[in-house]
Every structure is written in C-alpha cells, then in structure tokens.
C-alpha cells in the first residue's frame, strides 16, 4: 500500500486523470508532487467513516491535492497543526454553537462538506473531494487545508503566517478590501451575480480559503474579480513551475515580481521529519 517511491506509472497516470489541475507540472515538479503525496500519507492518519473504502488512486489523489499548493515552498511544515484526516462518505451533520443578539447560546446541527479544527483534525466529505481537482474553482481539499495553514497562529482570520519578505499590512489591506467589496456587492445583487462564490463573504477566513481554491483551480475567474488578491496569493503560494504557471494563465509580467524571491529557493525533500503528535483542542473554527 503506497510504500514504494516512485509509484507505478499506471497508478500515477490514474491520479493525473482525476486531477486536471496538476497537468501543467514539468517532470521534476511532477515527481516532487508524487514524493510529497507519499510523505503526506505517511505522516497523516486517514480515518474512514460510514463504510467508506478508498483505493490507492483515491488516497494519492487526496494527498496530491493537499500538497499541490505548497509545491514551491522549501519548508514543508505548514501542515504541522494536524495529524488526522477524517472522511465521511457524504456531507455530515456537525453541532454548531452560536449566541443570539441577546446573548443566549444555541446549538444546532448543520450539514457540512468540510470542517477544520484548531489543533485538531481535518474533516471532509468524500463526495466533495470527488468533485474537486478540475478547473471549476471548487476544491474542498485545498479549501480545508488553507484553513489549517490560517490556524497556525490560532483561530482562522484570513491572515496566515506570511513569509518574512511579505508585508502583513499589504496582505491585510488587499484581502480586506476585496472582502468588503464582495459583501457590498451582495447587499444589492443576487448571489448568482457575485464575481466569486458568495460563501467567501461569510468571514475573512472563508474569503482566503475560497480565493485559494480559485487561485489553483480557476485563476482566470479570480483575476477577473480581484486581480490584486490573485497577485498577493501568488506571493504566498507561488505556482510550482513555469509550466504550471502557464497552465494557470499566470504568465503575465505583473505576477512575476512577487514570485522571484521564492522561485530562487531549491525545493528539496532531505531532512523532512514527522512532527510529534499534538493534542487536539476539539474546537471547530471553520466549516464548509
């Protein structure tokens, strides 16, 4: 079960058939994606509920989507905040607590396709994962794992730990401005008229996660709606290669400047180690 590297050509070809978004990778980055997918599966426990059964293609496709956004980054500790992925066959019921306008606390069950917990597991519906991986702008795996990156400093707020050369003020201004614009548009227009998925207007953390989905699976849509957001995300999660950049329609010169520093790094697998297991806080912070 996926203990050899590289995996068989037929098995990896089946993963490619599932995931059009990885088609633009050159040979070196494609091999790197394969290796890091195996590392992800070695370091993260996959718990299946409701008689769900996954084959090797399923597991590799899940892992490939998880590590794909980080392909250009030499530091692979971005997913240190969790050690387990829990999968339901379909959307699942999750108890949610909230306070009303007079301060009374209520609890209700919501049907979710994904949920990320601070210092806890990532929970997803396999049905949502099966709909991910193409160029439609929807990717449940990327969405939930961007929440986990966002949570590295606590509850998700749309401001993940940035690279040292990046400006927190610039990031906050760019994403907050676009988030405010989306909410203002939805005040006077229908959800069908929103430039991106209106779910992004729920919270700054959801806006960040949704925009990352678009960045990797429908960049032209994000570019048309919020080009500054696309460029800002490119400085944080740069495409894995020039070939991938071309396939994502990100070859325009305005995207190259924020990538230059990060492209200078040589991505290597040497020295990667599993992190010690952390105790889950069992406090859900983001739902999908």
pLDDT, tens digit, for every residue of 32-78?
A: 999 999 999 999 999 999 999 999 999 999 999 999 999 988 777 89
Q: By the 8 A CB rule, do 34 and 71 touch?
A: no
* pLDDT for residue 278: 27
* pLDDT for residue 244: 58
Q: Where are the domains of the chain?
A: 9-287
**What class has domain 9-287?**
alpha beta
In this predicted model, what pLDDT tens digit does every residue of 180-217 receive, in sequence order?
999 999 999 899 999 999 999 999 999 999 999 999 99
* pLDDT for residue 257: 45
* pLDDT for residue 241: 52
* pLDDT for residue 259: 43
* pLDDT for residue 267: 31
pLDDT over 70 percentage in the chain: 78
Considering the chain, what is the average pLDDT of its residues? 83
* pLDDT for residue 262: 36
Give the pLDDT mean for 219-229. 92
pLDDT at 243 over 50: no
* pLDDT for residue 256: 47
Give the pLDDT mean for 93-111. 72
* pLDDT for residue 281: 32
Residue 80, burial from CB neighbour count under 10 angstroms (0-12, 13-18, 19+):
middle
Q: Write down the pTM of the prediction.
A: 0.82
């Amino acid at each position: 079960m996926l203990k050899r590297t590289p995996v068989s050509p037929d098995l990896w070809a089946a993963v490619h058939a599932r995931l059009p978004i990885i088609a633009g990778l050159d040979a070196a980055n494609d091999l790197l994606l394969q290796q890091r997918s195996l590392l992800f599966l070695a370091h993260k426990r996959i718990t299946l509920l409701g008689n769900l059964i996954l084959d090797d293609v399923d597991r590799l496709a899940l892992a490939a989507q998880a590590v794909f956004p980080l392909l250009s980054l030499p530091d692979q500790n971005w997913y240190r905040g969790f050690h387990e992925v829990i999968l339901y066959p379909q959307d699942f019921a999750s108890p949610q607590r909230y306070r009303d306008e007079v301060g009374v606390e209520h609890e209700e069950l919501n049907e979710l396709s994904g949920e990320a917990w601070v210092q806890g597991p990532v929970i997803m519906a396999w049905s949502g994962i099966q709909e991910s991986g193409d160029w439609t702008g929807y990717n449940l795996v990327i969405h939930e794992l961007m929440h986990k990156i966002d949570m590295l400093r606590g509850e998700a707020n749309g401001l993940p730990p940035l690279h040292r050369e990046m400006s927190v003020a610039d990031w906050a201004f760019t994403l907050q401005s676009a988030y405010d614009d989306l909410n203002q548009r939805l005040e006077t227009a229908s959800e069908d008229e929103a430039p991106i998925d209106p779910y992004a207007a729920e919270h700054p953390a959801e806006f960040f996660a949704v925009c990352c989905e678009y960045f990797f699976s429908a960049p032209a849509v994000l570019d048309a709606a919020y080009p500054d957001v696309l460029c800002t995300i490119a400085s944080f999660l740069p495409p894995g290669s020039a070939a991938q950049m071309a396939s994502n329609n990100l070859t325009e010169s305005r995207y190259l400047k924020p990538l230059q520093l990060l492209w200078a790094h040589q991505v290597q697998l040497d020295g990667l180690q599993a992190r010690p297991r952390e105790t889950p806080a069992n406090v859900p912070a983001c739902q999908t």
